[in-house]
Structure 1
């Protein structure tokens, strides 16, 4: 007479019924790659027939984590990787993980093919979670990772109703504070250079500009708004365009320090004194802001705190996968220097 099966099905019993090894059952349960479709179906049939609940396998998996998380950047423009924001965030996240045993993997995910490869890599259990940065509106990767139930934290958000955990700065408030400062100092012809407007962060900084201008009764038309892409070259291009349209401009709020630096170069070449003729404010407060001529008044993002908060949310999600989305918005601060 065969051995009687216990009341609670085991992983070994599923393996025996499916005619495969215990390791194959674990890979099917955890959606790992390297399993033939026919084998996967046989294991799934055995799980259903036995009524197996894979909580023991889940505990075993938790004990065998990959001890690695990915910092994935979805920016498609190679030039952006030379901007200070990327290196600052990488350093902040790396520092926040320094006290753990978790390895940080840096990867670029820019095309549909790269998305598919990354999702398959994640499906294979090679990483425990993902930190995502430079996410534009319509980016599908957060939703693809959610389908895998892989803990994911975004830097910023795709929209105002983001359905994933994220850490962000108060971009609207920071921009509003910058423009309020310009207006209180007596400037009346205030223009702005935005970031790429398919990114929610750029939309928020534009909204802060518009709110401050409207509240002060100085709202201008769309010709006072020029879109950049956060690069220094786009700041130069936008400032040239603004001077051509509105030679009377007496202040500029640029949505990043690098674009503000480009604007300063154009103003100097045009013989405009900063801040006497045109005041300039940036956003970020990277080291660059202290090395422009004149030194840049800017809105400080708490980059180190952003990195720590992203890592904290991800570690919490790794400990409790049922935890609801978490949204953290950190305050900004206007740093006054010589340019405004």
Structure 2
């Protein structure tokens, strides 16, 4: 019988289960020093009464917030326009379905002081963190390395492997090589690249892959421009590239968003793709399929990466050991009509 007309209380659960209030509390908050029989009785009482623990009171006992942060050190507009970031958000949210964990989304704010986000994370507001789209200057790696807050990066950190950071990524170097090799196999010999922002490891690694493949074939690697992983940035970078290197016959572009912008720039100059200049991209997250012509690109397995990162974080939150080695997924070339 309930003690009042409101929602069931911890006292109601204890009375229904035939245990003390402290035993009921321990059973609900993790089962520490609770017999299997008492745990079963409390679980049954919770189900029968429809009891929901008070999160604030529970956090005082468990020192847990029951929330994890997805950190995206990018302006909020990017989460709506970048398919990789949008896919990451959906993936983490889906991976938490069926758990009691809430998702907190942290985005960069204009004028935010470096390290401000890291200080928030260290202040006990969340139980763990997934970081994606990180930059060298955002201070997240240094602040999270070796700390008590469980963290997993989607994307290789700049920090050395012995920094104690857990991460999941696609093999961006091999991906860059595959995209460049496809252009070489087509017969192109003056192959340029539009990189992503070089304060991000994905851009650094894809750039390295392009350079390695060019060197392996003995081709010059002087034609490159840094972009910013946006459509407008791809347009501007391609225009600059064509002005500086009008003899290029192919371009590896480090993201499909930038490749979309590049196609606009090429079309505006009356340059046909792939007739005059062949193009390859990177991501295969929807834009490649809708581009004209369809982009030849490298698949970036965001769903698999996010699922793996979230699974790793949940394992860490459960107090279990996880492999120290990073999980690096294979890069796969997706054929289109642009190369």
Unmatched 5+ residue regions in structure 1? 1-59
Structure 1 residue 123, shift from structure 2 partner: 2.5
Confirm or deny: 8 A CA contact 2:76 2:108 kept in the other structure.
no
Q: Please identify, of 280-289 and 91-100, the stretch whose mean Cα deviation from structure 2 is larger.
A: 91-100
Confirm or deny: 8 A CA contact 2:157 2:167 kept in the other structure.
no
- Counterpart in the other structure of 1:219: 220
Structure 1 residue 109, shift from structure 2 partner: 4.2
Structure 1 residue 120, shift from structure 2 partner: 4.2
Distance 1:248 1:79, change over 3 A: farther
- Counterpart in the other structure of 1:179: 180
Distance 1:217 1:319, change over 3 A: same
- Counterpart in the other structure of 1:191: 192
CA distance in 2, matches of 1:65, 1:158: 27
Instruction: Tell me the alpha carbon deviations over residues 174-213 of structure 1, each in whole angstroms, 9 at most, x when there is no partner.
Output: 0101101110111111110000111111110000000111
Structure 1 residue 214, shift from structure 2 partner: 0.7
Confirm or deny: 8 A CA contact 2:191 2:250 kept in the other structure.
yes
Confirm or deny: 8 A CA contact 2:118 2:144 kept in the other structure.
no
Instruction: Tell me the alpha carbon deviations over residues 119-139 of structure 1, each in whole angstroms, 9 at most, x when there is no partner.
Output: 346523x32100111111243
SS at match of 1:70: strand
Instruction: Tell me the alpha carbon deviations over residues 224-283 of structure 1, each in whole angstroms, 9 at most, x when there is no partner.
Output: 100000011111111111211222211110000010011111111111111111111110
Confirm or deny: 8 A CA contact 1:254 1:280 kept in the other structure.
yes
Q: Please identify, of 323-332 and 241-250, the stretch whose mean Cα deviation from structure 2 is larger.
A: 323-332
- Counterpart in the other structure of 1:143: 142
Alignment of 1:1-340 (within 5 A): 63=62, 65-75=64-74, 77=75, 80-81=78-79, 82-109=81-108, 113=113, 115-116=115-116, 119-120=119-120, 122-124=122-124, 126-146=125-145, 148-159=147-158, 161-162=160-161, 163=163, 164-221=165-222, 224-320=223-319, 325-340=324-339
Q: Please identify, of 128-137 and 142-151, the stretch whose mean Cα deviation from structure 2 is larger.
A: 142-151
Unmatched 5+ residue regions in structure 2? 1-58
CA distance in 2, matches of 1:268, 1:231: 18
Distance 1:65 1:219, change over 3 A: same
Instruction: Tell me the alpha carbon deviations over residues 269-320 of structure 1, each in whole angstroms, 9 at most, x when there is no partner.
Output: 1111111111111100011111111111110011110111110111121122
Distance 1:174 1:160, change over 3 A: farther
SS at match of 1:107: strand
Distance 1:251 1:117, change over 3 A: closer
Aligned length in residues: 277
SS at match of 1:186: coil
Confirm or deny: 8 A CA contact 1:70 1:106 kept in the other structure.
yes
SS at match of 2:311: helix
Please give the TM-score of this superposition, normalised by the length of structure 2.
0.76
Q: Please identify, of 297-306 and 89-98, the stretch whose mean Cα deviation from structure 2 is larger.
A: 89-98
Confirm or deny: 8 A CA contact 2:141 2:157 kept in the other structure.
no
CA distance in 2, matches of 1:188, 1:314: 45
